[in-house]
Amino acid sequence: MSTHSRQALVMIRTNLSSLPRRFAISASMILSVALVVCVLAGFLSMARGFETALTAAGSPSVAVILGGGTNQEMGSDVPAAVIRTLDAMTGDLGALRDAGGKLILSREIVVPVDVKQVADGTARTLGLHGMDAAGPSIREGISLSARRVFAPGAREIAVGDRLASEFGLRVGDMVRLGAVDWTVVGHFSARGSASESEIWADLDAVRAAFDRQGQIQSLKLRLVDPTTLERLQDKIATITGTPLVALSEADLYAAQSGRTASLIRLFGWPLALLMAVGATAGALNTMMSSVADRTVEIATVRALGFSRLSAFLGTWVEAMVLAGAGALLGLFASWLIFNGWQASTIGANNARMAFQLAVTPDVLLTSGLLGVAIGLLGGALPAIAATRLPLTAALRARG
């Protein structure tokens, strides 16, 4: 080991073992770093959880056709003529057909509806999905967990398991959606994905209740396998008259979640950075008082011939150790608090969607690094101050 690293090591050691003398101010630095880390981790895990929920909701083997030049469900409009054209197309479209050779397809619309919560009577906006009878079976990973789905034309709804438990919706209950009452006839599970926050009903019943006669927002088809999406895209490119796009449900949801997740991060980062500036000022203050507290010790070893570098490193490492402890504390706390925490947000189609916060390794890494950065920045100036201690004055101070 070089004499430089030995000097630095002993300085670091003596600094750290003198920490109890500065307990209160050091603890306050640890806590403020932990708070910043916790806030950032909260926002990032919310964004990540949202992405995970929506991505899991979309299947790569379900295709969605949108019309009207948009690639999101909102604002999309598929003319009825397109369906007739598709039905008339023979040959391999890349999508599944039934035993009679007819394309399996579901016409869909989504209507935002307000549902009263049992707990406090306030309304929450949810997505009411009107679909053809094939809709539930085209979707992947769906299993009916109570009774049946819905009868064609009837004012019946199936609700996702998560909604059912949150709203206390049992089979046989009547729910007012829009101007009419609907009967809950079934529950479905979607492996815990965001689809469990949806309400499904018959397309014509929804159109009639919400005055959307003749409207189709999107078409859902089941692909033979994920790779046949390209064939479908090629085929619909030949349909003239209206611009159409076909994309996998997974891509559609990923694009939609991307926007919301970015929005969450857009709120989270400035807030966390602003707090980090405050915490850096706090760290600076803590470390300045550490240098003041260690003045005689620093001056003594400097008088013995220790280098300025060792005084710098001793202080800087102390700052990083404190910030690192704060970061670990913050990460541990955020994991305890946020991981698996239920949250909900405006998801696709203006409907509220529930999801779980996900404290993933990348969330931990990013927020942890911000915490350590506070120590790096806040400790740098005091570390420089430690190298510039006027030795004679410091040695006199003891007398």
Q: How far is the CB of 36 from other proteins (least distance, A)?
A: 30
For residue 26, which amino acid is it?
A: S
Nearer to other proteins (CB atom), residue 172 or residue 399: 399
Can you say how many angstroms the Cα of residue 183 is from the centroid of all Cα atoms in its chain? 33
In DSSP terms, 187 is beta-bridged to: 146, 159
**C-alpha torsion 218→221→225→229, nearest 10:** -40
266 contacts ligand ADP (rule: CB under 6 A): no
In the block, tokens 């438990």 appear at: 165
In contact, 40 and 367? CB cutoff 8 Å: yes
Question: What is the nearest approach in angstroms of ligand ADP to the Cβ of residue 396?
Answer: 6
> Which of 304, 302, 326, 301 lies closest to 379 in space, CA to CA?
326
Q: How far is the CB of 23 from other proteins (least distance, A)?
A: 14
Residue 365 or 397 with smaller CB distance to ligand ADP: 397
Residues 2-41 that bind ligand ADP (CB under 6 A): none
Is the Cβ of residue 116 or residue 396 nearer to ligand ADP in the bound state? 396
- Quick one: what does residue 307 bind among ligand ADP, other proteins, none, with the CB cut-off 5 to 8 Å set by partner type? other proteins
| Residue list 380-399, contact with ligand ADP (CB under 6 A) | 392-393, 396
CB of 11 to ligand ADP, least distance (A): 23
Least distance CB 308 / other proteins (angstroms):
7
Sign of the C-alpha dihedral, residues 277, 278, 282, 284? Answer: positive
For residue 323, count CB atoms less than 10 angstroms from its CB and return exposed for 0-12, middle for 13-18, buried for 19 or more. buried
Between CA 163 and CA 154 the distance in angstroms is 21
Nearer to ligand ADP, 242 or 392 (CB): 392
Which partner from the list other proteins, ligand ADP, none does 14 bind, CB cut-off 5 to 8 Å by kind? other proteins
Closest separation in Å from C-beta 358 to ligand ADP: 58
Closest by alpha carbon to 395, among 295, 313, 310?
Answer: 295
**Judged by CB, which is closer to other proteins: 116, or 396?**
396
Closest to 46 (Cα-Cα) out of 366, 261, 368: 261
Tell me: does residue 227 bind ligand ADP (CB under 6 A): no
Of the two residues 303 and 393, which places its CB atom closer to ligand ADP in the complex? Answer: 393
Output the smallest distance, CB 395 to ligand ADP, in A.
9
Cβ(288)–Cβ(22) below 8 Å: no
Q: CB-wise, 272 or 394, nearer to ligand ADP?
A: 394
Contact status: 303 vs ligand ADP (CB under 6 A): no
Which residues here bind other proteins, judged by CB under 8 A? 3, 6-7, 10, 13-14, 17-18, 296-297, 300-308, 391-392, 395-396, 398-399
The residue (of 349 and 387) whose beta carbon lies closer to other proteins is 387
Show Cβ contacts of residue 258 under 8 Å, excluding neighbours closer than 6 positions: 51
Q: Identify each DSSP E strand in the chain by its residue range.
A: 62-67, 105-116, 123-131, 143-147, 156-160, 174-177, 180-189, 198-202, 218-222, 244-248, 342-346, 352-356
Nearest to ligand ADP by Cβ — which residue? Answer: 393
Residues that bind ligand ADP (CB under 6 A): 392-393, 396
